[in-house]
């Protein structure tokens, strides 16, 4: 999956660092497209020489390489570099580069969406001791937004319930959805499967989780079984396809970045019970 970058390690603790010329810089435009170069499928990042220190905030480190975020509205133009959408990054660059950019996008989106205090309207400032935005007027503190969402592998004998979204990603997927106020993740699983496909489920059990910066999500994977006949009544506003697909006929996604694809592959290889 996208976060599986061993032996490299993402260090996400916040420090009030000043950017050096040798540090890497992530710059996103108003549409959330990242400015990077490309060499043989590897991303080439901007450096600390491409922006003033005052215009950057520390994001995280990958091993010993420090990454900063370009702040402000002044665009950077650099020969040989181009803007790529997050979906283009997913298909174009290496897994490690995609993870860096996805995680940077997650924080860019948070900083960009929280410029003013929601309580008093005053301009927010960057806290110097933790990953937070602080209102100097009323003291309100805003932390990064993380959306909990479930990915659900629904099983009926040797079939898996596959879906395709009506908009956006075009490849096979599993039932997925966001947790709502006042419900457990297991309740989210049952509700989302029922809402999207009309199928009741039982024996819900946790599989694995994944950060997914593209949508500021923390994805939580579950397997479960259809309770009853598993007759599908698809929500046509959400999906364009939902069907029970036999194990050997499952068509996987074109890369191995997502929790969804791993869960489909685990079922296809008949390893659901063996994976801990």
Q: Is the pTM of this model over 0.85?
A: yes
Average pLDDT over residues 167-175: 85
Domains of the chain, CATH where assigned: 10-113 (3.90.79), 118-143 (no CATH), 147-268 (3.90.79.10)
Question: Is a pLDDT exceeding 60 seen at residue 274?
Answer: no
CA angle 48, 24, 64 (to 5 degrees): 120
**Residue-level pLDDT at 202:** 97
Query: What percent of the chain is modeled with pLDDT above 90?
Result: 88
First-to-last C-alpha distance (Å) of the chain: 16
Average pLDDT over residues 73-88: 92
Question: Is a pLDDT exceeding 70 seen at residue 276?
Answer: no
Give residue 169's pLDDT band: very low, low, confident or very high (50, 70, 90): confident
Residue-wise pLDDT tens digits, 209-228? 999 999 999 999 999 999 99
């Amino acid at each position: 999956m996208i976060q599986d970058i061993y032996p490299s390690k993402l260090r996400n603790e916040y420090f009030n660092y000043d950017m050096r010329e040798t540090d890497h810089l992530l710059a996103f435009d108003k549409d959330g497209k990242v400015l990077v170069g490309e060499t043989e499928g590897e991303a080439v990042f901007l450096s600390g020489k491409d922006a003033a220190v005052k215009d950057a905030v520390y994001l995280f480190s990958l091993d010993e390489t420090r990454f900063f975020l370009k702040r402000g509205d002044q665009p950077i133009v650099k020969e040989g570099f181009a803007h790529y959408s997050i979906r283009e990054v997913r298909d174009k660059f290496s897994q490690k580069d995609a993870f860096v950019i996805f995680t940077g996008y997650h924080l860019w989106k948070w900083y960009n969406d929280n410029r003013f205090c929601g309580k008093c309207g005053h301009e927010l400032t960057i806290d110097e001791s933790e990953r937070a935005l602080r209102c100097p007027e009323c003291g309100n503190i805003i932390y990064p937004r993380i959306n909990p969402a479930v990915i659900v592998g629904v099983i009926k004998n040797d079939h898996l319930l596959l879906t395709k979204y009506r908009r956006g990603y075009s490849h096979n997927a599993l039932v997925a959805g966001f947790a709502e106020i006042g419900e457990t993740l297991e309740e989210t699983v049952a509700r989302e499967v029922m809402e999207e496909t009309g199928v009741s489920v039982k024996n819900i059990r946790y599989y694995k989780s994944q950060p997914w910066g593209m949508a500021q999500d923390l994805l939580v994977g579950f397997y479960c079984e259809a309770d009853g006949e598993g007759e599908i009544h698809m929500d046509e506003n959400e999906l364009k396809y939902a069907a029970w697909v036999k194990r050997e006929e499952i068509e996987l996604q074109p890369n191995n970045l997502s929790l969804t694809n791993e869960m489909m592959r685990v079922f296809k290889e008949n390893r659901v019970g063996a994976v801990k």
